Structure 1
Amino acid sequence: MSRATRRSWFPRRAIAAVVVLALTTGAVAACGGPDPAAEDPGKAQLHLIDNAGHRLAFHVTPGHGSTIVLDSGGGEDSSYWKNLVPDLHSATGATVITYDRAGLGKSDVVPGPWKVQSAVSDLRSGLRRLGVTKNVILVSHSQAGEVATYFAKENPSMLSGAVLVDANLPPFFTDEEIARLVAFARPQVDAARKDPDKPRNRQLISTAESFVATNRAFHTVAWPDAVPATVIVSEKTPFDGSPEDARRWRAAAASFARSGPHRTLVTADNSSHDVPKDRPALVLEEIENMVTKQH
């Protein structure tokens, strides 16, 4: 494939480079100090929670019944979900939690390569500190699919279901595909190194440093049969302009959905990789469906 061809399909924003590389009921208790300006039950309350020597920002909209946790993709913080949270809370009445992974939003930076196990620890510790230990529906976009897979494997009793939104899934990350992604992303990683303090660039660099080993391991991880999952795959995928990679992305989603019980595959027609932005009503509907199944 020529360099010009690669440029023609490769996403232009730094966040999209992260996408390609990273593909990078409990009572909520006040801990870590809620934001005193956010005591309205209808608004998110900020909780700063310590884990492994760094602080993480969790934004909690209190409700009842299920707890819905929204986890954004590579390079995005909790604000990615800001337009969906009010509608989701209104439609389900559930507690809705968004959070900033380390190095993003209001959460502390953790130097060094990105480690999925550290991300899992951050999420698990944050939820436990908030008193959330069961009946969680995890909604994960893009890179967050890796966090979700390990989280589900290690903590199946905490989850009542998951909605994986154009998410990283183990079947996609063959050795051949990993090599393709590394080659395609190299120019963007080199450019990011020129401005390493920018949050999205910082995450791209940290993801690149651990990418090969992380995703070879991820390829072997199995989703637990006990946790229902809805898989939403975008029509255009992160690889709009690269038909072969787009085909592999869709095939991986279909393979994942076939590989265990209680899994549903949904195609987001006319959507880019940013399904929550392009098809918010569809994402809302599938989350509502998952909540309904648990009652």
Structure 2
Amino acid sequence: MKKFLLNLSLLCTFIAANGQSKTIDTLVDVGNHKLHFKIVKGKGTPILFDSGGGNDGSVWNSILDKTSEITNAPLITYDRAGFGQSTIDTLQTDESKHGIISSIEDLEIGLKKLGYNKEIILVSHSYGGYLSALYASRHPKLVKGIVLIDVNHNYFEDGVIEKELLKQEKLIPQWKKNNRGTYFMSATIRETVKIMSTISIPQHIPVVDFVNGIPFLKAPEDIERWKECHKKYVANNPNVTGITANDCGHGIWIGNPSLVITTIAKIYANASKQKAEIQERALAYAITANNEEKAADLVFNNSEEDLNTWGYQLLAKNENKKAAEVFKLNLTLNAGSANAYDSYGEALLKINQTEEAVKMYKKSIELNPENNNGKEVLERITKDNPKLLN
């Protein structure tokens, strides 16, 4: 089992806790719909965070406190139309009016109403990189630095987006009904890719470009294309620093928060009059974070969670027999763990040892009667063969 955001008088604003709160949550009217912004208050140049496709601004919550402590900057996260707490213009049925240009115009209106339409630092992930590139190209004198986290660059060009859309065909009716933000993003992605093929971040803007160390794509040719797009971007832009985030997947700030936080701090410091102070705070944080990470590693290594994670990494690579052996070892070392039995059962199903898998799931449910996942799996695999329950 896997464990795993002005003038405030113009807005209807909810300030978390009280008037002295450090965080503001607000809905900003951008025309026929509203965008939700979360603002961690601060001084100086604001830092805007743009999330990946399908995500809202809350994905950045885990790194906001430390980033705020180091930079003292206003931090802005937001939900694009149709995501999180932001609404969407349901009267506008023309899909083309819900594309990337609509998104950037929404953002520009929101930032202007909030009073943040001046100098700014951008941080973006995946699809959000399109918004950073668009904003920088439209406001080249205002953007003072950008941190790109595993963004798309030109990956979806040359017909690749067509292949991706084929994979999404079955999901589109469900998105149209239950997830309008994702639906319109998918419905306009061809035009987005076409538009972004003509847009680039002005080369005078300093950029750090992160690429994952653990590929989230599956096919070798897709993985290589993703890496190559990042290599070309760095090679063709003298003001860009490329960093491979070792041992990190697509959400690099989750896999290595200190790496991303200190990088944001460096970009921010270079654009700030308080450069020395910010760098000193960033260094102190980096030292502490590194030491705490090592301490956490000592606890994690060879623990039940460590072995469980290893097993699932093997399953993700279709190395199912090896995964089963790791889960079996975990079970031997943690015989009282319902989770260990559940994970071993999952691996046994992968290698067609169904009868033994049933035993593992039954034991897991015995140890943890609230294991609904185990119950659902057990019901599914014994539906056509009730004798397995005996």
> Under TM normalisation by the shorter chain, which class is it?
0.7 to 0.9
* Contact kept in structure 1, 2:122 and 2:132, CA below 8 Å: yes
Confirm whether residue 235 of structure 1 aligns to residue 218 of structure 2: no
Provide the identity percentage.
29
CA RMSD of aligned residues (A): 1.9
Equivalent position of 2:163 in the other structure: 180
Query: Which of residues 161, 173, 176 is equivalent to 1:193?
Result: 173
Cα deviation 1:177-223 (Å, max 9, x = unaligned): 2233223x23xx41342364433xx3332222122222122122222
Decide whether aligned partners of structure 1 residues 132 and 154 sit closer, same or farther in structure 2, where only a CA change above 3 A counts: same
Listed as ranges, the matches of 1:1-295 within 5 Å are: 29-30=7-8, 31-39=10-18, 43-111=22-90, 112=93, 113=95, 114-169=98-153, 171-183=154-166, 185-186=167-168, 189-194=169-174, 196-199=176-179, 202-239=180-217, 241-295=218-272
Cα deviation 1:30-69 (Å, max 9, x = unaligned): 2413214444655320122111221111111111122111
Structure with the higher fraction of residues in helix conformation: 2
When the two structures are aligned, how many residues end up with a matched partner? 261
Cα deviation 1:124-173 (Å, max 9, x = unaligned): 1111111113331111111111111111111112211110111121x323
Decide whether aligned partners of structure 1 residues 194 and 177 sit closer, same or farther in structure 2, where only a CA change above 3 A counts: closer
Cα deviation 1:60-112 (Å, max 9, x = unaligned): 11111221111111111111111111111011111111111101111112345
User: C-alpha distance in 2, partners of 1:38/1:122?
Assistant: 28
* Contact kept in structure 2, 1:231 and 1:263, CA below 8 Å: yes
* Contact kept in structure 1, 2:16 and 2:23, CA below 8 Å: no
Q: Report which structure shows greater RCO (CA 8 Å, sep ≥6).
A: 1
User: C-alpha distance in 2, partners of 1:124/1:249?
Assistant: 30
Structure 2 runs not aligned, ≥5 long: 1-5, 273-390
Cα deviation 1:227-256 (Å, max 9, x = unaligned): 2211111123431x2111111111111211
Decide whether aligned partners of structure 1 residues 120 and 279 sit closer, same or farther in structure 2, where only a CA change above 3 A counts: same
* Contact kept in structure 2, 1:236 and 1:272, CA below 8 Å: yes
Equivalent position of 1:18 in the other structure: none
Equivalent position of 2:337 in the other structure: none
Decide whether aligned partners of structure 1 residues 93 and 181 sit closer, same or farther in structure 2, where only a CA change above 3 A counts: same
Decide whether aligned partners of structure 1 residues 248 and 108 sit closer, same or farther in structure 2, where only a CA change above 3 A counts: same
Secondary structure of the 2:11 match is: coil
Aligned amino acid, residue 201 of structure 2 = W
Aligned amino acid, residue 124 of structure 1 = E
Aligned amino acid, residue 210 of structure 2 = I
Decide whether aligned partners of structure 1 residues 283 and 258 sit closer, same or farther in structure 2, where only a CA change above 3 A counts: same
Secondary structure of the 2:171 match is: helix
Of the structure 1 ranges 149-158 and 104-113, higher mean CA displacement relative to structure 2 is found in 104-113
